Amino acid sequence: MADTPLKLLTAWGIPLNPSNIDVIYPYTDEQGHPNCYKLEEGLPRFITLLELDPPELVIDVHGCVGTSASDQAVIVGLGGLPQFHQPAEFGNFMEKEAVLHLFPNQRMRHGLGLIRELSPNIQAQFCSSPHCGYNFRLLGGMQMIGLRLDPHNDLSSLTTGEERSYLPKENLRCLPGAGANALQRLAMRKVNPESTCLHVEIPTAVRKKMVLKLHALEFESSFDASGL
């Protein structure tokens, strides 16, 4: 964010920190209403404007701060606010000897398969009630194992004064349904009640690898084009 708008926001009394400093409005509509990626409740209107069929799968990709500089865990949020979700909505769920097993349904498998190449560590999270959440890790054969958690008692914040939730015992970020994506999920239910929304949070270490990979591909492409 540039210095001038930063000073304006500060003068308006808006609290700024690294978690929300990217809340900006790059353009407005004809009524002056701001539009940006933080206003996902407008997704149905965008789908109509683009003349798209109601999607069955929505993947919303964001960047997040991991629990360490080397954190490789890509977090997939499936919902943390009403409407709450039950494990069986995402596939075949069973519990054996206190270990939770989830075999994703076809739509979930498709979505997780698209993001799997980002990292070998994919974690899916959601809540089924205010005091019951789940964290599942994706294994090699697309099956998942997980644990239950209480968002009120099992989470802490990485930084004092900021809402950077994580599970201390697992040293893992916990983002079952961040605010903007919750609005998107509610909006999508009006377009397609059966849609699945994956809120993908990519930690810094993985984003660095993605940038370097893209740079290498661009270099190879330019090298091939030169005919050398």
Q: How many CA atoms lie within 13 A of 10 on its CB side?
A: 8
Residue 7: the pLDDT is: 76
Distance CA 216, CA 222 (A): 10
Q: Is 207 exposed, middle or buried (0-12, 13-18, 19+ CB in 10 A)?
A: middle
Distance CA 101, CA 136 (A): 8
Report which of residues 183 and 199 the model is more confident about.
Answer: 199
Residue 25: the pLDDT is: 44
Q: Is the pLDDT of residue 95 over 60?
A: yes
Q: What number is the average pLDDT over the span 196-225?
A: 82
Q: Is the pLDDT of residue 38 over 70?
A: no
User: Nearest to residue 103, comparing CAs of 135, 146, 136, 143?
Assistant: 143
Distance CA 186, CA 130 (A): 17
Lowest-pLDDT choice from 49-53, 153-157, 203-207: 49-53
Q: Is the pLDDT of residue 78 over 70?
A: yes
Residue 39: the pLDDT is: 55
CA–CA–CA angle 154, 160, 162 (5° rounding): 85
Number of CB atoms found within 10 A of residue 115's CB: 17
Mean pLDDT of the chain: 82
User: Strand 122-129 relative to strand 74-77: parallel, antiparallel, unpaired?
Assistant: parallel
> pLDDT per residue over 109-156, tens digit each?
999 999 998 999 999 999 999 999 999 999 988 999 999 999 999 999
User: Strand 57-64 relative to strand 74-77: parallel, antiparallel, unpaired?
Assistant: unpaired
Secondary structure of residue 88 in the 3-state scheme: helix
Torsion of Cα atoms, 3 then 19 then 200 then 179, to 10°: -110
C-alpha dist (Å) from residue 22 to 159, 160, 184? 18, 19, 18
Dump the DSSP string for 170-203: TTEE--SS-HHHHHHHHHHHHH-TT-EEEEEEEE
Percentage with pLDDT > 70 across the chain: 79
Q: Residue 33's pLDDT band (boundaries 50, 70, 90)?
A: low
Q: Residue 188's pLDDT band (boundaries 50, 70, 90)?
A: confident
Secondary structure of residue 195 in the 3-state scheme: coil
In DSSP terms, 198 is beta-bridged to 59
